[in-house]
A and B are shown apart, each in its own frame.
Chain A
């Protein structure tokens, strides 16, 4: 056994308890082996807004001295395993007060394992995950983004399934026996133990090399030094509008150039411009001012500003004019209006493809009971 750290990336606030339970489970299991550990959240993420990418960590060690190195860290950067409890996070992580887009595998050590809860194929996930110089492994536990531990949501065993899988991909951190011992305390729980054992036995890893993955360069920006930063906490306005070629006569508001919302959302609005009545309600009600006004008076959701809240879909008076679609259906942040403007027929085909076969959502639902319906159909 040796020192090891596990990063858990999740969607706040929905999965906070799940992430906490995973990290606590790791430390409890370590204790069964006479080892010590700590569990902590990456503090800068809190207060956790609806769907914000957030993190917790668990570190286990043989001695206090080994553990000490981690005790004053916000974000251990050489993790044995990164657990991802919502596969839309494979596109990366941005958070308030961070520094651009952090690839999901960035803090994983060479040879480490990215452990994702997902019903998607490895190939599909790899398409989202940024390329990484050092080789690592990818493994999935079959599950959609779980709400386990959130208020009244059912305990669906996602925590113990991930712990069982963890014991398989990183046995030097924690053994299955210890996980099982921790699960059965203070009370024996045969069903949870069986879930952990099953996940342990079923998990398979795929080796990922430097040529596999999304080759896009992650968005980033430079943090200024104290000599360059404006004094007296002054933040200059960014102006009222942006001049965008092809958008003359429309209105594209100026936006914070350093905080994009590429990964905050788990779904995005898809707009049927053919049925849009230009009623302005989506544009008025959007809390993030994400709608650009097109030169011909339509409203186009800008994917640098949309956080995927779904209010536009809820307030739109036209049936199926705005549809929220799971992010996994998209690989880019293109303007939908530009696509439509250029080729209306091709756009109609794109639109029906995106809205016809919608993959499950990770949070935010069309109707009461949708989450229960989705998890009922999941493989176990």
Chain B
């Protein structure tokens, strides 16, 4: 069964599951806070940096209002913030943490060891441009920096998806087949600070979807005398890395299972890994992550009104990278335009991170589409519908054989 089929095949179960959801006008950050409450997280650590910090404001308000109970610790830096929940996770606590921009980077040592120790922390990254220069707007380079360490990375495009994905993230990360941390990326401002109507599920619905976290005999506890985080050398390390590699591979199936079950119980959730938009008959495709989806979808609809068969594929999970799904979605198109809200200075063709990974994923295809790389929306600059129409226009030109350099990267919306 392909992942695309899951929503429909599970439809029959939907009548059985009790649905009790309330509507709330909340931001992406507040939606994640609700997921944290519903997941009954045990230990949360906070340290302020915009724009992620709004989630901690909402969590602390829930605690103050008596709606939620947990250990809520304000750390003295991001490094301590992530270290505290890392240890809490090792003793069997469900944990939540988060940061933005260079705050996330200040925790980098803790981020590396959390994945290395196979601790299923769930974190929210409110995507923010890296300093310097100091800027608050969205860029994806903060979360992307952990892409090679064993962290699973999801990008969401609406507040509803933020809530749903946070619940899914706990289920996947804490699955004993995986035991890897997961970061959910929410575009700064566009998601963290925008309020929309969100369906907040009942506790019973969430409880039926999300089992309690159990580390089993890997739990640090006086009754279970174990030690973790040993010093090793060349005689041990490679085998340990290979284990993490297998965990990241297994995560794929666990994610697919989680989406199947989520779709059945909640009647939404969509396809795991990617969202396909108007791709059925698309001749060219635009690829992107996060709230970029909004102007792209508007542009796709506008271009289709003029008979231009363009589609959009939104990458929802960047790690594990959905190579198979993207091959499947893009095998039939003639050209692809990747819009990165990030950069990878000095990389292959000076492209963005997503473009580079996508090129690798599509290389084995027999009939590879042409791939053009675009950089746009850095530091939170608006990506307008017209910007996307320009991008798609160039991709159409490449598809029809125009002389467009594929080994170049095009910057959109930058002042010359």
A27 to B194, CA, bound (A): 12
Confirm or deny: A224 has a beta carbon within 8 angstroms of a beta carbon on chain B. Answer: yes
Cross-chain contact A27 with B291 (CB below 8 angstroms): no
* CB-contact partner of B415 in A23, A41, A46, A226, under 8 A: A226
Confirm or deny: A354 has a beta carbon within 8 angstroms of a beta carbon on chain B. Answer: no
Confirm or deny: B197 has a beta carbon within 8 angstroms of a beta carbon on chain A. Answer: yes
> Using a CB-CB cutoff of 8 Å, which residues 69-101 of chain A contact chain B?
69, 71-74
Chain A nearest CB, measured from B102 CB (Å):
15
- Contact status of A226 and B416, CB under 8 A, knowing A27-B197, A40-B195, A41-B193: yes
Chain A nearest CB, measured from B54 CB (Å):
10
Cross-chain contact A71 with B195 (CB below 8 angstroms): no
> Using a CB-CB cutoff of 8 Å, which residues 25-55 of chain A contact chain B?
27-28, 31, 36-41, 43-44, 46-47
Confirm or deny: A216 has a beta carbon within 8 angstroms of a beta carbon on chain B. Answer: no
- Which of A37, A68, A73 has the largest count of B CB atoms less than 10 A from its CB? A68
Cross-chain contact B194 with A40 (CB below 8 angstroms): yes
Instruction: List A contacts of B301 (CB < 8 A).
Output: 65
Chain B nearest CB, measured from A66 CB (Å):
10
Confirm or deny: B82 has a beta carbon within 8 angstroms of a beta carbon on chain A. Answer: no
Cross-chain contact A24 with B25 (CB below 8 angstroms): yes
Confirm or deny: B190 has a beta carbon within 8 angstroms of a beta carbon on chain A. Answer: yes
* CB-contact partner of A72 in B27, B190, B195, B414, under 8 A: B190
- Which of A36, A39, A69, A72 has the largest count of B CB atoms less than 10 A from its CB? A72
* CB-contact partner of A38 in B194, B292, B385, under 8 A: B194
> Using a CB-CB cutoff of 8 Å, which residues 381-397 of chain B contact chain A?
382-383, 385
Confirm or deny: A225 has a beta carbon within 8 angstroms of a beta carbon on chain B. Answer: yes
Confirm or deny: B132 has a beta carbon within 8 angstroms of a beta carbon on chain A. Answer: yes
Cross-chain contact A71 with B415 (CB below 8 angstroms): no
Cross-chain contact B416 with A227 (CB below 8 angstroms): yes
Instruction: List B contacts of A47 (CB < 8 A).
Output: 50
Could you tell me how many residues of chain B have their Cβ less than 8 Å away from some Cβ of chain A? 32
Instruction: List A contacts of B295 (CB < 8 A).
Output: 69, 72
Confirm or deny: B204 has a beta carbon within 8 angstroms of a beta carbon on chain A. Answer: no
A144 to B171, CA, bound (A): 52
| Binary contact readout A193-229 vs B (1 if CB under 8 angstroms, 0 otherwise) | 0000000000000000000000000000001111100
- Contact status of A71 and B194, CB under 8 A, knowing A27-B25, A223-B415, A224-B415: yes
Cross-chain contact B385 with A31 (CB below 8 angstroms): no
Instruction: List B contacts of A372 (CB < 8 A).
Output: none
- Contact status of A69 and B298, CB under 8 A, knowing A227-B416, A233-B132: yes
- Which of B25, B133, B383 has the largest count of A CB atoms less than 10 A from its CB? B25
> Using a CB-CB cutoff of 8 Å, which residues 338-395 of chain B contact chain A?
380, 382-383, 385
A46 to B48, CA, bound (A): 14
Chain B nearest CB, measured from A151 CB (Å):
15
A227 to B25, CA, bound (A): 43
Kindly list 14 other residue pairs between chains A and B, CB separation below 8 angstroms, not including A40-B27, A69-B385, A223-B415. Answer: A24-B25, A40-B193, A41-B193, A43-B51, A43-B137, A43-B188, A43-B189, A65-B297, A69-B295, A72-B292, A72-B383, A74-B189, A74-B382, A226-B414
Provide a sorted-by-A list of 23 A–B residue pairs whose CB atoms are within 8 angstroms: A24-B25, A24-B195, A28-B25, A38-B194, A39-B25, A39-B196, A40-B193, A40-B194, A43-B51, A43-B136, A44-B136, A44-B380, A46-B136, A65-B297, A65-B298, A71-B291, A71-B294, A72-B294, A72-B382, A74-B189, A74-B380, A225-B416, A226-B416
